[in-house]
Amino acid sequence: MGNLANLVYCEFLKLKRSKMFFISVLGAMVSPIMVFAGLIKAKITEPNKVITYWDMLEQTNLYVLLLFGVIVYGVIAVYLFSREYTENTLKSMLTIPVSKGAFLTAKFFMVFIWMMILTAVAWVSTLLLSIIGNAAQFSATVIIQSLKEYFLGAFLLYFTMSPFVFITLWLKNLVTPIIAAATVVLGNVALANEDLGVLFPWTSPYLIASGDIEKYNYSIETALVIILTVFFFGVFSSFAYFKKQDVK
């Protein structure tokens, strides 16, 4: 366990020296800024229209979980698992007494932590922009419910990142998994208001977190089983492939 904690700490140190974290924070702020721009436009075109804190927070979470979040979280997962290949440091990492299993586990932990940080950035950014935009109907209930939806959605979306990890380890490049993430976003756009969206593991995290899943014909349990199946498939494939791979 101590070895795993050290590996995660090493990932943090490497991240501190990289510009990728700052870029990812900017990526996490895209959705709040877009929603804020919509608020400004609404106030200009319809001065009497009331925009609430809930409107702002809910709309941003939709953009994060269905659109920009998939791309941003997919990119950070791909980045974390590909950097040793692109920087040619994998062999030196594994010459230290570090098992391949512990190495991958630390990476998965780091993806989770990073996603939660970016989720917090998106939430805080939206709240601050709502204050600046003079949104209405602020309440503790709105804060608590929005926090629950943001982090539940991000938690569930995390489980769907493992296939991108496997593609990265298998093909050892950044382009293919990023194209896969973009394809997933198109699927989200097509299925977000359909019954089949519940069965699509990258759409259902939003539907579950927002409670919209109750409007469709499939249950939460069905969606969770599919999400976990995708997660375990990606994790098992990643570990199996990486462990039998020769390190060069």
User: In the structure encoding, which two tokens stand for residue 233, read together?
Assistant: 């498939």
- Tell me the mean pLDDT in the region 216-239: 95
Q: Is the pLDDT of residue 92 over 70?
A: no
Tell me the pLDDT tens digit for each residue of 158-192.
999 999 999 999 988 888 999 999 999 999 999 98
Neighbours of 138 (CB within 10 A): 14
Tell me the pLDDT tens digit for each residue of 61-90.
999 999 999 999 999 999 998 887 766 665
User: In the structure encoding, which two tokens stand for residue 62, read together?
Assistant: 């939709």
pTM of the full structure: 0.91
Neighbours of 214 (CB within 10 A): 10
Q: Is the pLDDT of residue 149 over 70?
A: yes
What Cα–Cα distance (Å) separates residue 64 from each residue in 44, 57, 73, 171?
25, 11, 10, 27
> Given pLDDT bands bounded at 50, 70 and 90, which one contains residue 93?
low
Instruction: Indicate the domain borders of the chain.
Output: 2-244
pLDDT of the residue at 59:
95
**Could you say which DSSP state residue 65 is in?**
I
User: In the structure encoding, which two tokens stand for residue 204, read together?
Assistant: 């259902």
